[in-house]
Structures are given as C-alpha cells and as structure tokens.
C-alpha cells in the first residue's frame, strides 16, 4: 500500500540506497508525537497524522495557513505566537517545554527551520502527550519527581533498519546509548555489535517476524542485556517500513528506557507487601493520622481493637471509639507533638474504652513528615500491657508475702532453736551429772551407753546449728570484698588442723575474686573437712586445683579416700543425707547442702566424680560475671 501523505514537491530516486523521503514520511506518520511545520508568519504548513488525530482534524487543509490563535483561542494562541516569533528572531530553540492543556500534559520542542542559505524560514515543533509519565511519576515516587528525570535524562531512542536488520539511521540519543561519537558510526551494524548474543538474536527474530506478518510490535516491555552483563528495561515499539510502492524495506523502532520505572515498581510492590505483612501480623496497635488526627491507615490489630476493619476506620478519630475525656487527651497530645515536634516515647497510660472498661497501654507517638520536611500528621504504636501491669502488681504482692514468710521463717528458726536447745541443754547437764556423780556406780555397758547418750546430745546440738546456718544462707549477706583465695584456703587448713597422715596441697595459684569472705570460706572448709573425715588410707592426699575458663573459674578438691558409688552422686548434696551411719562417723548431712546453696548464690554449679576405692573429686564453678573484681 502506497503512502498517501507524501509531501508535495519532494522527489526521490528509487535506486537511492537510503530514501530520505521514505524515512521522513514514515517518521512523520508513525511517530507517536504531534509534529508540525510553520512559516515565518507562524502559520501551519504541515502537520503529521498524530496531530490530526489529537485535534480531531479529518483533512490537513483544515489546518494549513492557520495560526495557533485560529486553532486554540486567544489565550494559548497568543502565548504560542510570542514564543514562535522570539524563536525565529533569535534562533534559540525551545526544548522540552512542559505545560498542561486542559486535562492533558504535554512536552513541546520547537527548533528553527532554515533554508540552504541558513536563513530562518519557519519552525518545526514536536509535542508529546506525557499523561502516562506524569501518572506513573505520582504513583511510583512519593518523594521524587521522575517527570524531570524521564524527560531530561532518558530520551527516546529512534532507529531505522533495513531488511537484514542493519542500522541505516539512528538518532543522537541512540548513539549516546551505544557509546558512539556520532550517529553515522552505527550505519551497517546490527544489534549483535552492541548487545549480548541472546538479546540480539531475539531482536533479529522479532524484526524478521514483523516484516513477514506486517504486524507492528507496540510498547513491548523487554529486558536488554549488554556485553558487560548489565541489564536495562525498555518499552519498544517497532513498525514495518515501506517504500513508495508499499513494499516492506525494513523496520522503524522507538525504545524508551524504563529501567528506573521497573525498579520503582518492584520496590513499591516489595515495600507495600512488607508493610502489609507488618501491619497485618504485628500484635501492636499501629496507626497513622493526618493533621486533624483522623486515621489514614491502621494495623489489623488496631482495627480489631476498636471492632472495625482496616478500611472502615479510615477517616474516623479517637472520638468515635473512646470516651470523650480520653479522646480529648489523645487529641491534645498529638496537637502538641505536631507543634513542638517532641515525640512521646513508651508512655504507660490507663485507657478507658466503652464496652471494655479500663486497660493499660504503652504508647509511642512521633510526628510524621512529608518529603519537604513538613509535618503532615502523627504516627503511633501502642502495646496492650494490661497483663504485664497485673503481673507487676501480683509480683509486688508476692514479694510482700515472701518477705512476710521469710520473717516468719526466721522467727520460727530461732524459736525452734531456742525451744529445742533449752531441753537439750537440760538433758546434757543431767548426763554430765550422771557421768560425774555416779561414774563409779556404772559398769562398762552403762558407761558405754552414757557415752552414746552424750554423743547423741552433741549431734543434736550440731544438727540444730546446721539448720540455722542453712536457713541463713541467701538471707543474711555480708559486704563483698576482694578476697585472695590462696590466703583463705591457707587459713581454713590451719583451722581444720588435718592429722599428720593427711597431706593437703594447692596445685596451682588460686585467683582473687569479689565475694563474701565467710561464705567462700565455708565452701572450702566443708569440702576439706569431709575429705579428712572420710579418709581411710594410712597416707591421705588431698589436692586443691583451679582452672580458668572464659566465663567462669573451675575449682577441684580431690582425695584418695574410699570413693563414692555413682548412684549416690546426687544424694550427697541433699539435706540430712549421709552415706554412713551417724554412729560410725559424726555428721549432720548438712555440710554439702550448705556448700551447694552458697555456690548457686554465685550462679555456679557443683558436682562430684568418684570411683570406689580410688577416691573422689568435688568440682565447683564460680561465674566470673558474679565474682569479677
């Protein structure tokens, strides 16, 4: 099909390898922008098909010879006329003028039209509708104005190709994109000279299919891959290119770089999904308000708290959900935040809500800003802490009850001690009188029974003292001091005064720690005393050692005594437990219980490792965090 809009007076030769008229007509008829030519009197002398469509003009003659005033009215026409006259007088082009005509946004470029002598004989204008770009700008960039970025920095790439998909002409923007010094360097080359093989093969296939079927490819979004591995997104329109006889002689293409738009779309989708996930699943009450304290967005938990869904609450205020006094207080808080830009951080407050009564929340409120830094509302997050507050109240009550119980226990321990020791002292005195006054009256069996009685009285006395000692651990505290354990252990050994057949050695240097001197002394005294008491070897050996770990000190006290059966490893630390009958070896069964309780006060642990007949090793740790100097 022949092109019917051929420019009158322009001639071409069919044998020319590149037909300027052909290219000019195709460009004029297929470019999506409105193009027009004016003479020196600013009268239209030609317009393209797109401009006719945008103005609903059926015949070009309706425009020829008329001015902007004739076509668009006095206000716009006068402004356009002034611009055109200035351009033709000065030769200064108008590039990318953005303006709104009624409901449509346009970008206009005007350049002077010169004859062979260089005289300005008119002008050429190109007007592009950019409504879609403006709408995309508003949707994808809340804080950015992509319009200027797109129009000033991402111009369209225009190119013509022959039937073998070789470039025969490209525009300057495409040359810059290909990193060429000028557009002419692209002539005769193909996409394989600029893109990755995969992308170039696809482009070639698309163009061959287009020329075979005559079906244009319109605004196809595709990813371009460059030889260095980088990728860009473009929106491409490709059309078949005809000669004067209607034969397809190649293709015409316009590509627009939409990489940033695609990235913005992906980011917007991703951020929206993240925000929705957060707002739908976080248990806290999250809400955004405008300057009138109306809700503009709330979390699912906030909507459920007031008995609505996340959409219906939009536009409402706290007056719709809380008591008047409560709502006024919230409104005043938010007003103050917006005026002084001072946030409210973790404010614990008691809230009254109709239908629910009183409950506690921890609230944080912050001013909300727009992209220019102006305060446009508030952001708030509240957490229901009613259970926590009740737990705190319960904890205070329990602490009072515990303090009362400890006082009663302390009084009970002293009372029991006094009430038990008083008759015990009486029994002890009677036993001593019998032993003194009637000693010659007892036979050997009587004397043995009397000695047994005295031993039982002494054991009962020690047991009462042991119980008192155990009950005081954790309740009575002395000041912590820096204690050199080498000195403490030496003093304990001197006090115990081990028999000559038992040798106690310290295998390595012991540390200095921050602790209660008496308590730590009790630990070593009880462990060493037990090792001495149960020693069954003619030459007893007791060793004290210490190893340092990153988080604690590990101590050991080992002996070569009788050893302990594995089944009794836990039993030895239980209160009133002994491994031998008390008539064989004096003991209350409290010593190791006392040691365990003291060690645990310092966040440590104690355990035993032993083999029957080979001896035992008691290990205990002291946390460095609790005993650091």
The CATH number that applies at residue 573 is 3.30.565.10
520 and 549 together in one domain: yes
377 and 485 together in one domain: no
Neighbouring C-beta atoms of residue 575, cutoff 10 Å: 15
Instruction: Find the CATH number of the domain harbouring 315.
Output: 3.30.450.20
Using alpha carbons, list the distances in angstroms from residue 80 to 98, 110, 121, 323, 325. 13, 11, 17, 61, 61
Of 349, 384, 419, the domain-final residue = 384
d(CA 574, CA 105): 89
488 and 594 together in one domain: yes
d(CA 551, CA 516): 20
484 and 619 together in one domain: yes
398 and 357 together in one domain: no
How buried is residue 592: exposed, middle or buried, by Cβ count under 10 Å (0-12/13-18/19+)?
buried
Using alpha carbons, list the distances in angstroms from residue 189 to 141, 160, 170, 185, 253. 38, 11, 11, 8, 15
Six token digits for residue 468:
């008192």
pLDDT tens-digit map of 185-242: 989 999 999 988 888 899 999 999 999 999 988 888 888 888 777 888 888 889 998 9
d(CA 522, CA 596): 11
Domain count, the chain: 4
The alpha-helical segments, DSSP class H, found in 290-344 are 300-305, 324-340
Q: Is the pLDDT of residue 386 over 60?
A: yes
Residue 26, domain member (yes or no): no
pLDDT tens-digit map of 478-536: 577 888 999 989 988 888 888 999 999 999 999 998 888 878 888 898 899 889 988 99
Residue 159, domain member (yes or no): no
pLDDT tens-digit map of 434-471: 777 777 777 777 767 777 777 666 656 665 655 556 55
Q: Is the pLDDT of residue 12 over 50?
A: no
d(CA 250, CA 204): 12
d(CA 280, CA 250): 55
Q: Is the pLDDT of residue 152 over 60?
A: no
Q: Name 370's Cβ contacts closer than 8 Å, sequence gap at least 6.
A: 376
How buried is residue 594: exposed, middle or buried, by Cβ count under 10 Å (0-12/13-18/19+)?
buried
599 and 489 together in one domain: yes
- DSSP type of residue 586: -
Of 471, 498, 526, the domain-final residue = 471
Residue 359, domain member (yes or no): yes
458 and 486 together in one domain: no
As a whole number, mean pLDDT of residues 565-573 equals 84
Query: With contact defined as beta carbons under 8 Å apart, do 86 and 97 qualify?
Result: no
Q: What are phi and psi of 291, to 5 degrees?
A: -70, -20
Six token digits for residue 47:
């317009």
Q: Is the pLDDT of residue 282 over 80?
A: no
Return the bridge partners of 37, or none.
Answer: 46, 124
Residue 153, domain member (yes or no): no
Query: With contact defined as beta carbons under 8 Å apart, do 67 and 43 qualify?
Result: yes
As a whole number, mean pLDDT of residues 596-603 equals 85
d(CA 387, CA 158): 68
Residue 263, domain member (yes or no): no
Closest CA to 157 of 31, 333, 35: 31
Average pLDDT, the chain: 79
89 and 111 together in one domain: yes
Pairing outcome for strands 285-290 and 248-257: unpaired
| Strand (E) or helix (H) holding 259 | helix 259-281
pLDDT tens-digit map of 306-323: 777 778 888 888 888 888
Closest CA to 595 of 629, 621, 614: 621
Q: Provide the 3-class DSSP secondary structure of residue 257.
A: strand
Q: Is the pLDDT of residue 286 over 70?
A: yes
- DSSP type of residue 191: G
Q: What is the pLDDT of residue 220?
A: 86
Q: What is the pLDDT of residue 144?
A: 44
Residue 355, domain member (yes or no): yes
398 and 466 together in one domain: yes
d(CA 294, CA 317): 5
Domain span at residue 614 reads 478-627
State the pLDDT confidence band at 616, using cuts at 50, 70 and 90.
Answer: very high
Q: Provide the 3-class DSSP secondary structure of residue 332.
A: helix
Query: With contact defined as beta carbons under 8 Å apart, do 277 and 247 qualify?
Result: no
The alpha-helical segments, DSSP class H, found in 170-238 are 172-177, 197-213
417 and 459 together in one domain: yes
Residue 174, domain member (yes or no): no
379 and 453 together in one domain: no
State the pLDDT confidence band at 345, using cuts at 50, 70 and 90.
Answer: confident
Six token digits for residue 338:
């917006």
Q: What is the pLDDT of residue 414?
A: 58
Lowest mean pLDDT among 188-192, 557-561, 592-596: 592-596
The percentage of the chain sitting over the pLDDT mark of 90, rounded to a whole number, equals: 21
Of 129, 161, 180, the domain-final residue = 129
Q: What is the pLDDT of residue 1?
A: 38
Strand intervals (E) in 186-247:
217-225, 231-242
349 and 437 together in one domain: no
Query: With contact defined as beta carbons under 8 Å apart, do 287 and 297 qualify?
Result: yes
Residue 179, domain member (yes or no): no
């Amino acid at each position: 099909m022949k092109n019917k809009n051929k420019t009158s007076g322009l001639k071409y030769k069919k044998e020319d390898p590149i037909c300027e008229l052909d290219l000019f007509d195709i460009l004029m008829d297929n470019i999506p922008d409105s193009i027009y030519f004016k003479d020196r009197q600013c009268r239209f002398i030609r317009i393209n098909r797109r401009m006719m469509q945008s103005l609903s003009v059926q015949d070009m003659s309706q425009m020829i010879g008329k001015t902007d005033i004739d076509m668009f009215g006095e206000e716009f026409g006068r402004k356009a006329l002034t611009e055109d006259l200035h351009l033709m007088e000065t030769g200064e082009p108008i590039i990318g003028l953005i303006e709104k005509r009624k409901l449509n946004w346009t970008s206009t470029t005007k350049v002077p039209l010169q004859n062979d002598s260089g005289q300005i004989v008119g002008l050429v204008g190109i007007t592009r509708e950019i409504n879609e770009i403006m709408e995309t700008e508003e949707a994808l960039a809340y804080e950015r104005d992509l319009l200027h970025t797109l129009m000033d920095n991402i111009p369209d790439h225009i190119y013509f190709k022959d039937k073998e998909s070789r470039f025969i002409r490209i525009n300057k923007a495409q040359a810059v994109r290909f990193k060429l010094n000028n557009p002419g360097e692209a002539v005769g080359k193909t996409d394989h000279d600029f893109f990755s093989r995969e992308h170039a093969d696809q482009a070639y296939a698309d163009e061959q299919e287009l020329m075979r079927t005559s079906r244009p490819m319109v605004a196809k979004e595709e990813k371009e891959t460059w030889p260095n591995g980088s990728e860009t997104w473009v929106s491409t329109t490709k059309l078949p290119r005809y000669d004067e006889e209607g034969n397809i002689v190649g293709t015409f293409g316009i590509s627009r770089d939409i990489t940033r738009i695609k990235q913005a779309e992906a980011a917007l989708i991703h951020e929206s999904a993240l925000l929705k996930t957060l707002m739908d699943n976080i248990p806290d009450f999250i809400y955004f308000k405008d300057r009138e304290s109306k809700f503009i967005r709330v979390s699912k938990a906030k909507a459920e708290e007031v008995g609505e869904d996340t959409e219906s609450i939009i536009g409402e205020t706290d007056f719709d959900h809380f008591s008047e006094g409560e709502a006024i207080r919230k409104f005043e808080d938010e007003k103050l935040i917006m005026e002084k830009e001072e946030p409210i951080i973790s404010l614990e407050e008691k809230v009254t809500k109709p239908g629910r009564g009183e409950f506690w929340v921890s609230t944080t409120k912050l001013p909300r800003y727009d992209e220019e830094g102006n305060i446009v509302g508030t952001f708030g997050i509240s957490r229901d802490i009613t259970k926590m507050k009740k737990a705190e109240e319960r904890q205070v009550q329990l602490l009072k009850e515990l303090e009362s119980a400890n006082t009663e226990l302390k009084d009970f321990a002293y009372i029991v001690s006094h009430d038990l020791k008083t008759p015990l002292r009486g029994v002890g005195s009677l036993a001593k009188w019998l032993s003194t006054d009637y000693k010659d009256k007892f036979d050997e069996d009587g004397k043995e029974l009397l000695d047994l009685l005295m031993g039982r009285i002494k054991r009962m006395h020690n047991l009462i003292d042991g119980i008192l000692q155990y009950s005081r651990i954790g309740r009575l505290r002395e000041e912590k001091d820096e204690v050199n354990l080498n000195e403490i252990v030496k003093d304990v050994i001197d006090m115990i005064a081990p028999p000559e057949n038992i040798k106690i050695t310290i295998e390595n240097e012991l540390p200095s720690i921050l602790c209660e001197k008496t308590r730590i002394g009790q630990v070593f005294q009880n462990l060493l005393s037990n090792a001495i008491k149960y020693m069954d070897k003619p030459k007893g050996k007791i060793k004290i050692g210490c190893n340092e770990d990153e988080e604690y000190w590990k101590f050991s006290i080992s002996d070569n005594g009788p050893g302990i059966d594995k089944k009794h490893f836990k039993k030895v630390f239980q209160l009133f437990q002994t491994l031998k009958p008390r008539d064989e070896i004096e003991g209350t069964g409290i010593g190791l219980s006392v040691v365990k309780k003291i060690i645990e006060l310092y966040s440590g642990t104690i355990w035993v490792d032993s083999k029957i007949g080979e001896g035992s090793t008691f290990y205990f740790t002291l946390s460095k965090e609790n005993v650091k100097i």
